[in-house]
Amino acid sequence: MLLPNHRSIRVHRTKLFYPCGRDWPAERENKGSAVEIEIHQGRWSGYQWGIHRGCRNGWPGHWVSLLLTAWLWHSAAACAQPVAFANATVIDVEQGRRLVGQTVLTESGRITAVGTAGKVAVPRNARLIAAGGKFLIPGLWDMHVHELPARNVAQMFLLNGITGVRDMYDKPEKLRTLPSLLRVVKLAGNVLNGVNEKNDQTVVRDAEQGREAVRRQIGAGADFIKVYNALPRDAYYAVAKECARARVPFVGHVPDAVTSLQASAAGQRSIEHLDAFLLDSASNAALLRMGKRYIPSWQMLKAYAEARAGQIIAAFARHGTWQCPTLVAHRGFALEQDPKLDPNDPVLLHLPRSWLPKRTGVTHSDNALNRAVVAKFMEITARMYRGGVPLLAGSDTGNPYVLPGFGLHDELELMVAAGLPAGAVLRIATLNPARFLGREHELGTVAKGKVADLVLLDADPLADIANTRRVHAVMASGRLYDRATLDRMLSDAIAAPWQ
């Protein structure tokens, strides 16, 4: 399969062309044959010559693998043709406004100019993108993903306009083999938990083990540390102190041994999902917590207290605790018995079986309860927004009906349905991740000097957040993927379902 971050080059007799505009050197002519060369991020990945690649006058039944020359991969990697988006409407995500008639110039992976046509000098060798009637936004971020190393998953994010993700745990050795399509903020080790719930977690039973686990993961290059449900109280606080000492954030679930208020005060950088918030908002939260690992949702809904919820929201805003609601993941469980879902839908068919919910054993009352939980979570998300809690958008890819890339758009639409303005939601998916990561100086807006992670849309996302799905082109680190390339990515993904 030809991955979308490869350059595909066909040679017919004497000439070879690729986007830099250079020709294949005469001394490397291939007379009478047609071949394809694949270059992955400037590294050769195959020069294959034979009938399986449509070779004319090739060697039947054989593939001959040839080493690519240093000249070829170097010139592909060094290609830095300027690209100009002409007459675009740039969306200022910070202010939620439209800047009409803008030319945005990029070169060598950076935005070099933004302004009206008469104020931006476009180089003669620039690739010109006619962007009249289209809308240019910063690259989107999905801030809670799993299954990233699975086949074609990175491509699915990119074709949906997502140029960055926060991987909340996949095996580090698999992450190292990812195609370099996306910016990936990742763990460098296992989730820290008091028990090994999923056979791939680091068991931490006391404070010393907590400190050692943090040091080990930071030494391995962790971008952050993730804590989980069963982490003991003393280990949790040891992790918090060690992370503060090393200036590495810790994120994740609120462990059973601490409350949401305590996690916020301890400096947990982000809290994933809203389960702990719902529990701690119950009027009898302490009683519900006593000796229980699993607390039925109906009990938390019944005991929900507005005043307690307000206290937690105020604390999150005061301490700068980020919340990633993952509404779409919770919604997936509410869809298990939805009669509107066609089990033969081609989108569902190419999901891994583990990502499809188990339809057996789910009752109508279970479904009704799950829908009530999702409705409450949407209400809480809107209240957090109004209360000044910094929000992130994450899909929790890997859960039922949460499709890589597409799931983030579902999340954005759920946020708007909850009552958030479209402009605020767009900011949550673009600028907020940059702020969370402390990288707003280089990411998150369409501005001179920033990284050229851009999405060109066919319709206005401020008018309807669903228009973030209408991707015309994506630029990731200055590399342009047009609509035809994105369509090939999607075709490849559907043709080769994940296992």
How does pLDDT run across 248-263, given as a tens digit for each residue?
999 999 999 999 999 9
Q: What is the tally of structural domains in the chain?
A: 2
Pair (180, 58) in one structural domain: no
Mean residue pLDDT across the chain: 81
Query: Is residue 477 one of the residues assigned to a domain?
Result: no
Token pair listed for 189: 């080790």
Q: What is the pLDDT of residue 188?
A: 60
Q: What is the pLDDT of residue 348?
A: 60
* Better-predicted residue by pLDDT, 289 or 416: 416
Query: Is residue 25 one of the residues assigned to a domain?
Result: yes
Average pLDDT of 12-34? 33
The closest alpha carbon to 408, from 424, 421, 426, belongs to 426
Pair (264, 145) in one structural domain: yes
Q: What is the pLDDT of residues 436-471, one digit of tens each?
A: 999 999 999 999 999 999 999 999 999 999 999 999
Token pair listed for 16: 């070879």
What secondary structure letter does DSSP report for 3? -
Enclosing H/E stretch for 488: helix 483-495
What is the domain-level CATH number for residue 279? 3.20.20.140
Pair (226, 371) in one structural domain: yes
- The residue out of 79, 95, 124 marking a domain boundary is 79
Q: What is the pLDDT of residue 192?
A: 95
Pair (75, 145) in one structural domain: no
Q: What is the pLDDT of residue 385?
A: 98
Q: Find the domain containing 22 and state its range.
A: 6-79
- The residue out of 29, 48, 79 marking a domain boundary is 79
Pair (67, 165) in one structural domain: no
Q: What is the pLDDT of residue 51?
A: 25
What secondary structure letter does DSSP report for 22? P
* Better-predicted residue by pLDDT, 186 or 330: 330
Pair (69, 217) in one structural domain: no
Pair (185, 265) in one structural domain: yes
Q: Is 122 exposed, middle or buried (0-12, 13-18, 19+ CB in 10 A)?
A: middle
Q: How confident is the model at residue 269 (pLDDT cuts 50, 70, 90)?
A: very high
The closest alpha carbon to 385, from 484, 441, 311, 316, belongs to 316
Enumerate the β-bridge partners of residue 135: 89, 457
Amino acid identity of residue 303, one-letter, is A
Query: Is residue 349 one of the residues assigned to a domain?
Result: yes
Pair (304, 401) in one structural domain: yes
Q: What is the pLDDT of residue 231?
A: 96
Query: Is residue 11 one of the residues assigned to a domain?
Result: yes
Q: Please tell me the pTM assigned to this model.
A: 0.82
Query: Is residue 480 one of the residues assigned to a domain?
Result: no
Q: What is the pLDDT of residues 136-161, one digit of tens each?
A: 999 999 999 987 777 788 899 999 99
Ramachandran bin of 22, using left for φ above 0, alpha for ψ from -120 to 50, beta for the remaining angles:
beta
Please, what sign has the CA dihedral across residues 381, 383, 385, 388? Answer: negative
Pair (59, 167) in one structural domain: no
Pair (55, 148) in one structural domain: no
Pair (35, 155) in one structural domain: no
Query: Is residue 84 one of the residues assigned to a domain?
Result: no
Query: Is residue 458 one of the residues assigned to a domain?
Result: no
Query: Is residue 468 one of the residues assigned to a domain?
Result: no
Pair (173, 307) in one structural domain: yes
